[in-house]
Amino acid sequence: MAAPQLNCDVLVIGGGAAGIAAAVAAGRTGAKTILLERYGFLGGLATTAQVGTICGLYLRDTAGAEATPVSGGFAQEFASRLQQVGGTKPLCVDRGLWVLPYSPPDFARVADAVVGETKNVQLVLHATVAETRAENSKIISVRALAWNEPVEIFPQAIVDSTGEATAAALAGANSENGATDQAPALVFVLENIDPGLAQRGLLEVRRELRRAVESGTLPAVCERLALVPGTGTNGRLALKLSLLPANPDCALWQQVTNWERESRALLAPLHRFLVENVAAFRNARLDSIAPQLGVRSGRRILGRARLADEAVLKVQKFPQGIARGCWPMERWGNSPRPEMNYFAERDFYDIPLDCLRPVELKNVFVAGRCLSAETGAMTSARVIGTALATGWAAGTAAAFQAAGKSSDEAVTTIREHLSGQT
């Protein structure tokens, strides 16, 4: 049986933060848009990995009493709606860093709403890309499985927001594997926790974990436990357990499988140890485990431009800047705590449009954590707030290209949107 055939102006692959923004951006220009998402709900790692906080929305500010948005545009629109739905508000966590705590179901709910309200966007859930066909440096068709049935899509332009540059790589774009750059993390939620623990922090917990590791009761990776900010006041505490970065000699698919199995196997003994040895966890019950490991870094393209570490640290601005990054470099490596590299307060760097464009493909844009960046720069640009911004830019640029408009016109429109002029 021949696969059904669909035509569109813009095909967005991946319904995480970047893909949601890209689809809405393209749809609002009037472009006929298809959004493919591999799960049965939107949000990507923000929902499946239960990240719990949006970073990259607000300028770092050690003196300010309120959060200052890094830009206007869709990222702030989404954040505002999330605050209305969940009753949440920005939270200052450390050294002037502001984040927006959220409930993963609320994130999916807002994502459903903004995509559903956008005319011209057709959402296809349970859909994964299997093959691309390129001619003359353009992807002309994409074959996917939608609920295990084949479908072929013929787009004018594509936004790859898969987090792994899947479509771009299938079509021959050069990429690099960033899985060795950052350790992934598994989030889980415990109930019946002492509400005061969130205010005290995990010092007492880490002390006991250190003793357990030294005695051989728990493996060393259990010391890599961290608190998800904004949780714990109601007795429900979200924790994240970071693993070790990928083994460069292991195939990525095998590494991810190993990570998923090993991290979940650790939870039972870790939970039991906390209940038996830390007073704040005496009555704790394991409430939920994130359906997917939070992979912080994966495959990314080698683009027409590359966001450099130096550009981030020196908060460089570019005429072709289409998104603003304000989160410090945050590398989760072999140490129990992340390595933080800060730049100037109350400032941001630009991400040029060419960081979203593979060298080899004329009609493909990427967004989120598969954009072109050096290792340190990616540890800053990968966060949800910045992914919303790069997604919006990629969706706008793809829609403009599909309509025969220039990338310069797209950049002008995107920059006006960031400034709150549109």
Res. 201 pLDDT band, cuts 50 70 90? confident
Level-2 CATH architecture, domain 5-179+297-418: 3-Layer(bba) Sandwich (3.50)
- pLDDT tens figures, 347-368: 999 999 999 999 999 999 999 9
Residue with tokens 């809405």: 24
User: What whole-number distance in Å separates Cα of residue 362 and Cα of residue 134?
Assistant: 10
Domain boundaries in the chain?
5-179+297-418, 185-289
Res. 234 pLDDT band, cuts 50 70 90? confident
User: What whole-number distance in Å separates Cα of residue 45 and Cα of residue 52?
Assistant: 10
- Residue 421's pLDDT is 67
Q: Is the pLDDT of residue 420 over 90?
A: no
Half-sphere exposure (Cβ direction) of 280: Cα atoms closer than 13 Å: 21
Report which residue type is found at 313.
Answer: L
Beta bridge partners of 46: none
- Residue 248's pLDDT is 87
Distance of alpha carbon 93 from the chain centroid: 19
User: What whole-number distance in Å separates Cα of residue 363 and Cα of residue 256?
Assistant: 30
CATH classification of 185-289 is 3.30.1330, yes or no?
no
**Which structure tokens are listed for 126?**
């349970």
How much is the average pLDDT of 28-47?
A: 97
- pTM for this model (two decimals): 0.96
- 85-94, 99-108, 224-233, 254-263: the lowest-pLDDT one: 224-233
Of the candidates 405, 313, 318, the residue with the CA atom closest to the CA atom of residue 356: 318
Taking CA atoms, 39 is separated from 15, 93, 125, 127, 252, in Å, by 9, 31, 6, 7, 20
- Residue 32's pLDDT is 98
Percent of the chain with pLDDT over 90: 89
- Residue 230's pLDDT is 87
Res. 216 pLDDT band, cuts 50 70 90? very high
- The length of the chain in residues reads 422
